[in-house]
Amino acid sequence: MLIKSAPDILSSEITPESVYRNRRQFMADALKLGIATGGLAAMPGAALGASGDGLRARAPADMERSAPAAWWQDKFAGIDAAERGGNFWTDEDLTPYRDVVTYNNFYEFGTDKSDPYQNAQSFDVDPWSIEIAGEVDNPGTYDLEDFMKPHQLEERIYRLRCVERWSMVIPWIGFPLADLIKRVGPTSKAKYVAFETLLDPDQMPGQRGRFSVIEWPYREGLRMDEAMNPLSFLAVGLYGNYMPPQNGAPIRLVIPWKYGFKSIKSIVRIHFTETEPATSWNMLQPSEYGFYANVNPEVHHPRWRQDMETRLPRTLFSSGRMETQMFNGYADQVAHLYQGMDLARYY
């Protein structure tokens, strides 16, 4: 297990998000002026300090540790740089990069918020393959490159609301889950999609503990219509760069209208089922964590009221406290999925 000292990014003045912001502004200006650019192509390099401004030396270790494979860089070169409005975008302040990558839940690497950052840096995700199984026309095991090949990457800015009452605003890179599902062709029997995280106690210290609360591997699932909703996203990066290990490298789910625990990290298996699949937190404590886990300010967790949240980071000047919105503010896009359902019962 690799133990790292406190992140030196905390003292950095040139943060990845300031580079990101400047770059976005540049992209916006370039688009207005009609200047052809390579999309966000140059951004990973810029974020890594390739411009020689000294940023590389100050960049967080997780962004420096390994250059992505060439095909991966090509993928990122194709990111759709168009400004997006509405559904897939929010104007709220982004959570600073350092908070996004140092304050995490990823129990495979420990239960403290700083554990994933501390313990996941040497997490080896190359090679990586994903199994597609169950009620599907094209089952099989795909290596990550083939898995991603047909998909155009795009950027989305989503709110992420944890059941523990903290929230963030994160710019993700990825592609719609619906596109993958259409490609693998579920049969008419497929009513749910289930996901599993890597099981690898050698790499994941949290899976070695005898007193671990979760029965590994971590599992999650969605009803098919939820999975097909345009908001459901498979993310392979954030802040314009590839996914840091502590955030679920190389590929994870992001379901912005549900509590964060539905957004399963480091996925190795996707299977299509006729019946509702077992999910990790629900297996652990069904009275606290339901299968649906929709963000709902009116339905409280036994230990956490859910009508308020803290938008991170807290600062000397702001408590970050704010009201939680129904479906985390995505009701227009998803409320119809739950028409007629008693959400206090199906929490």
Task: Find the binder of ligand MTE among 20, 233, 257, 261 (CB under 6 A).
Answer: 261
Lookup: tokens for 315: 């600062």
- C-alpha to C-alpha distance for 270 and 340, rounded to whole angstroms: 29
Q: Does 104 bind ligand MTE (CB under 6 A)?
A: yes
Q: Work out whether 216 is an interface residue with ligand MTE (CB under 6 A).
A: no
First to last CA, the chain: 37
177 lies in the site for ligand MTE, by CB under 6 A: no
Provide the token pair at 314: 């807290």
Choice between 218 and 292, CB closer to ligand MTE:
218
Q: Is 218 in the site for ligand MTE (CB under 6 A)?
A: yes
Structure tokens at 215: 């029965």
* Binding status of residue 294 toward ligand MTE by CB under 6 A: no
Question: Nearest CA to 190 among 221, 148, 152, 155?
Answer: 221
Q: 225-247 burial by CB neighbour count: b if 16+ within 10 A, else e? A: ebbbbebbbbbbbbbbbbbbbbb
Residue 107 interacts, among Mo ion, ligand MTE, none and using kind-specific CB cut-offs from 5 to 8 Å, with ligand MTE
Residue 15 binds which of Mo ion, ligand MTE, none (CB < 5-8 A, kind-dependent): none
Tell me, by CB under 6 A, how many residues bind ligand MTE: 16
Under the criterion CB under 6 A, does residue 233 sit at the interface with ligand MTE? no
Positions at the binding site: 104, 107-108, 162, 197, 247, 252, 263-265
Give the distance from CA 90 to its chain's centroid: 16
Question: Contact, 178 vs 232, CB < 8 A?
Answer: yes
The residue ranges that bind Mo ion (CB under 5 A) are 105, 162, 260-261
The residue ranges that bind ligand MTE (CB under 6 A) are 104-108, 160, 162, 197, 218, 247, 260-261, 263-266
